[in-house]
């Protein structure tokens, strides 16, 4: 399918001002209209999804991916509910973040404004099509979506439904556009649409992120890859450490805040490793261990390579290393972490302070599962992804992080 990304950029740019001027009441009206339309058009959406599922099965797409792709009446209702939830969130646009009067009488305000046009490149998950669109709309920005090809029919149906719902409110349907071409080229074109796309948010695996870093000329917020660590300190409550490790690894292994690597202080390795193995065995987690881990746990443990320590398994696998102290743990994390979420389990105050100070990640935990790195869990509302970069926003990207600021300056003739 041919598709003119530049033309899509022009259309988004042409309507962004109308959205930026829209009050929160009208924006919420759009969202409610979308939520209703999703339920009304359930059959149409499910039929499109069925096509995607059949193609995917035919192409041998793996089971966990099929599950993420699949829509059901219940899932569509869930998506519609989450749209209504976004409608209930506070509108960040127009919020005065700071305001003051200068000695010369200038009144200065720093105010939140929409980004303008947000580009979103993501994997084959139909729910992201809706989640991303409504978050961008509520934040006052037009959105250009490019989803994974396996979900193309589902995403097309969902976008059609959303565009009609927007038009029914008298607003321009081009506020939400879907790239009709799921080739690599269309993604690369989006990455270079300077002057049209104000910010691009890639959400996907390491390959997509690499491609964006290499090719993008528009501003980007990197999201996603999480090689998250749990470090069990010498003073840890070992029961707690085992529970946290198990939860962080097995409660949902396919997500970015799942733990991938376990570091254990040598003084507690003999006691702790069998405890945690017993837990992880219940979920059939494959362990990749250092020689000391293998010595303690035996031949069931696969010897770990450097690649293991660098890997985001997103699966029932975990790398383990016994370290001689906190310094070695921090150094290991500095070397292998993707800067997402890391946790120390400890009773020692100095260890907790040093770990949270010195580990350079978006979220650093003391005695809690890394699985909490999430906009909803942090109480920040729905999120569009987790930023692992330092510029602009780090951690969950909520509505506020989807906006920019500007300065308004009011004078009465001041010159310098």
Nearer of residues 271 and 410 to a second copy, judged by Cβ: 410
Confirm if 353 and 377 have CB atoms less than 8 A apart.
no
Residue 95's SS3 state is: coil
In the complex with a second copy, the residue whose CB is nearer, 39 or 389, is: 389
Q: Tell me the three state secondary structure of residue 322.
A: strand
Q: Which is nearer to a second copy, 319 or 341 (CB)?
A: 341
Q: Which residues, in sequence order, are CB contacts of 243 under 8 Å at separation 6+? A: 279
Residue 215 backbone zone (phi > 0: left; psi -120 to 50: alpha; other: beta): alpha
Q: Return the residues of window 337-356 that contact a second copy according to CB under 8 A.
A: 352, 356
* Least distance CB 352 / a second copy (angstroms): 8
Q: Is 207 in the site for a second copy (CB under 8 A)?
A: no
Give the shortest CB-34-to-a second copy separation in angstroms: 25
Task: Please choose, from the candidates 215, 206, 213, 157, the residue with its C-alpha nearest in 3D space to the C-alpha of residue 186.
Answer: 215
Rounded to the nearest 5°, which phi and psi values hold at 109? -130, 135
CB 318 within 8 A of CB 259: yes
Tell me which residues in 6-25 interact with a second copy (CB under 8 A): 17, 20-21
x/- track of binding to a second copy for residues 248-287 (CB under 8 A): x--x------------------------------------
- Give the C-alpha separation, 162 to 180, whole Å: 16
Bridge-partner residues for 354, per DSSP?
Answer: none
Query: Does residue 367 touch a second copy according to CB under 8 A?
Result: yes
Give yes or no for residue 240 binding a second copy (CB under 8 A): yes
Nearer to a second copy, 74 or 412 (CB): 412
Sequence-distant (6+) residues with CB within 8 A of 380 are 396, 398, 400
Q: Which x/- pattern, by CB under 8 A, does the window 82-101 give for a second copy?
A: ------------------x-
Question: Minimal distance in Å, beta carbon 216 to a second copy?
Answer: 8
Q: Judged by CB under 8 A, does residue 102 bind a second copy?
A: yes
**Residue 323 is a binding residue for a second copy (CB under 8 A):** no
Does 328 participate in binding a second copy (rule CB under 8 A)?
no
Taking the least distance from each CB to a second copy, the nearer of 88 and 210 is 210
Q: Which of 362, 382, 397, 399 binds a second copy (CB under 8 A)?
A: 362
Is 206 a binder of a second copy (CB under 8 A)? no
**How far apart (Å, rounded) are the C-alpha atoms in residues 276 and 266?**
15
Phi, psi for 40 (deg, rounded to 5): -60, -40
b/e sequence 79-94, b meaning 16+ C-beta within 10 Å: bbebbeebbebebbbe
If we measure between CA atoms, which residue out of 124, 187, 95 comes closest to residue 399?
A: 95
Q: Is 325 in the site for a second copy (CB under 8 A)?
A: no
**Candidates 4-12, 30-38, 105-113, 156-164; binding stretch for a second copy (CB under 8 A):** 105-113
CA-derived radius of gyration, the chain: 24
Nearest approach, Cβ of residue 234 and a second copy (Å):
18
198 contributes a contact to a second copy by CB under 8 A: yes
Lay out the site mask for a second copy across 148-187 (x = CB under 8 A, - = otherwise). Answer: ----------------------------------------
Q: Give the pairing of strands 259-265 and 228-232.
A: parallel
Q: Which of 369, 383, 388, 397 binds a second copy (CB under 8 A)?
A: 369
Six token digits for residue 270 = 């003999």
Dump strand ranges (E) for 233-315. 259-265, 286-289, 302-303
Stretch that binds a second copy, among 66-74, 176-184, 302-310, 373-381 (CB under 8 A): 373-381
Minimum Å distance from CB 334 to a second copy?
Answer: 8
- Residue 410 to residue 412: CA distance in whole angstroms: 7
Kindly list the distances between the CA atom of residue 338 and the CA atoms of 189, 229, 386, 387, 390, in Å, as whole numbers in the listed order: 27, 10, 12, 11, 12
Say whether residue 108 binds a second copy (CB under 8 A).
Answer: yes
Q: Where on the chain is the footprint of a second copy (CB under 8 A)?
A: 17, 20-21, 100, 102, 106, 108, 110, 113, 115-116, 194, 198-199, 213-214, 217, 219, 221, 237, 240, 243-244, 246-248, 251, 352, 356-358, 360-369, 371-373, 377-379, 389-392, 394-395, 404-416
């Amino acid at each position: 399918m041919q598709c003119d990304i530049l033309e899509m950029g022009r259309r988004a740019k042409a309507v962004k001002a109308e959205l930026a001027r829209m009050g929160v009441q009208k924006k919420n009206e759009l969202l409610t209209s979308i939520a209703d339309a999703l339920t009304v058009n359930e059959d149409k959406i499910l039929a499109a999804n069925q096509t995607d599922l059949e193609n995917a099965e035919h192409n041998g797409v793996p089971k966990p991916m099929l599950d993420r792709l699949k829509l059901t009446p219940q899932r569509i209702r869930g998506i519609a509910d989450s749209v209504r939830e976004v409608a209930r969130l506070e509108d960040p646009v127009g919020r005065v973040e700071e305001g003051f009067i200068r000695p010369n009488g200038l009144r200065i305000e720093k105010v939140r404004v929409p980004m303008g046009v947000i580009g979103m490149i993501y994997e084959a998950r139909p729910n992201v099509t809706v989640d991303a669109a409504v978050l961008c709309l509520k934040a006052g920005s037009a959105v250009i979506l490019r989803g994974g090809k396996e979900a193309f029919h589902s995403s097309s149906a969902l976008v059609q439904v959303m565009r009609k719902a927007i038009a029914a409110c008298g607003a321009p349907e081009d506020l939400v556009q879907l790239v009709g071409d799921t080739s690599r080229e269309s993604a690369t074109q989006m990455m270079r649409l300077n002057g049209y796309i104000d910010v691009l948010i890639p959400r996907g695996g390491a390959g997509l992120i690499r491609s964006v870093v290499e090719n993008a000329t528009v501003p980007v917020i990197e999201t996603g890859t999480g090689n998250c660590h749990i470090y069990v300190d010498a003073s840890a409550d070992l029961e707690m450490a085992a529970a946290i490790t198990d939860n962080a690894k097995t409660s949902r292994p396919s997500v970015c805040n799942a733990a991938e690597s376990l570091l254990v202080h040598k003084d507690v390795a003999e006691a702790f490793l069998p405890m945690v193995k017993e837990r992880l065995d219940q979920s059939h987690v494959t362990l990749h261990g250092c020689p000391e881990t293998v010595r303690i746990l035996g031949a069931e443990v696969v010897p770990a390579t450097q690649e293991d320590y660098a890997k985001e398994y997103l699966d029932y696998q975990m790398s383990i290393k016994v370290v001689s102290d906190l310094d070695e743990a921090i150094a290991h994390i500095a070397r292998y972490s993707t800067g997402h979420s890391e946790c120390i389990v400890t009773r020692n105050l100095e260890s907790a302070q040093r770990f949270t100070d010195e580990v350079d990640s978006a979220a650093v935990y003391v005695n809690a599962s890394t699985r909490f790195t999430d906009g909803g869990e942090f109480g920040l509302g729905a999120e569009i992804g987790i930023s692992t970069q330092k510029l602009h926003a780090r951690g969950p990207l909520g509505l506020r992080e989807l906006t920019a600021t500007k300065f308004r300056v009011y004078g009465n003739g001041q010159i310098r």
